[in-house]
Amino acid sequence: MHNFLFGIYPYIALSVLIIGTIARYERDPFTWKTSSSQLLRRKQLVVGSTLFHVGVLVIFFGHLGGLLTPIWVFDALGISHGAKQTLAVVAGGIAGVMALIGGCMLFHRRWTDPRIRRTSSFADIGILALLLAQLVLGLGTIVVSLQHLDGHEMTKFMSWAQGIFTFQAGSANHIQDVSWIFKLHLVLGLTIFLLFPFTRLVHMLSAPLRYLMRPGYQIVRSRRTAPLPKHQQRSVR
């Protein structure tokens, strides 16, 4: 089971993520959206969304760089494994708390407001619950990491992740003896990758670059009415 979860399951999850995301974009481009509920309880959304997204982005890119950067690069830069471990604990802890607080605010808003509940699908609520569970597990790993500040445990996960991405046999052996909370954290993370193409998370791949280059103002009017004279048209941002 260990070999399946950490030697085979990563390839299943990543394959579904890539192929499923491309297929959804090609077949159902109009479902590629967040189904925003911004007009409802806006203040709670702004605070919660900001905390959640900033925290998650810091965690994601921190994991991406920390796990996939070859160990020799840190050695060449003179960054010890202990220093890297300490940085990961401090930065990850702060970002994790931010994301958890923001995520709880978003979950509370989506779960308790009847209007927002009616516009939310099972996948919307389910994926948010999984992300919150993942954040709790991630913060739980910090307790274990504090017992290994020499960074030796971190190198095991780096070797595993880099072994997976370079198709090395026996990559699962690198994390054979790590704590169960790390293993559960990895499995849930891979499961989120697996579900990614079927949820609103796909909006992460749609950076609105054209929004920055759009015309400054748009003329807004109802389709049911005849065009207003120019001096009566309202320009809105």
pLDDT for residue 109: 84
Total domains in the chain come to 1
Give the three-class secondary structure for 235. Answer: strand
Residues tagged in the binding site annotation for heme b? 53, 63, 185, 203
The predicted structure's pLDDT at residue 37: 55
Question: Which long-range contacts link 80-84 to residues 24+ away (Cβ below 8 Å)?
Answer: 80/151, 81/150, 81/151, 81/152, 81/154, 81/155, 82/149, 82/150, 82/151, 83/151, 84/151, 84/154
Distances (CA, A) of 200 to 24, 103, 125, 192: 11, 15, 10, 12
Q: Does residue 234 sit within a domain?
A: no
Task: Give the global pTM.
Answer: 0.80
**Residue 97 included in any domain:** yes
- Residues forming the annotated binding site? 53, 63, 185, 203
C-alpha distances in angstroms, 114 versus 81, 108, 110, 200?
Answer: 49, 11, 8, 20
Q: What is the predicted pLDDT for the residue at 204? A: 80
Instruction: Judge whether 231 lies within some domain.
Output: no
Match 């950076």 to its residue by tokens: 207
End-to-end CA distance of the chain: 56
Helix (H, G, I), strand (E, B) or coil at 216: coil
Residue 28 lies in a domain: yes
* Element holding 39 (H helix, E strand): none
pLDDT score of 142: 94
42 in a domain, yes or no?
yes
The domain of 17 spans 1-213
Asked whether residue 110 is domain-assigned, the answer is: yes
* Residue 167 in domain: yes
On whether residue 128 sits in a domain, the answer given is yes
- What pLDDT does residue 219 have? 52
pLDDT at 237: 46
Encode the chain (237 residues) as per-residue pLDDT tens digits: 999 999 999 999 999 999 999 999 888 877 776 655 554 555 667 788 899 999 999 999 999 999 999 988 988 888 888 898 999 999 999 999 999 999 999 898 888 877 777 777 788 889 999 999 999 999 999 999 998 888 888 899 999 999 999 999 999 999 999 999 999 999 999 999 999 999 888 878 876 555 455 555 555 555 555 555 555 555 444
CATH of the domain at 33: 1.20.950.20
DSSP-assigned beta bridge partners for residue 219: 235
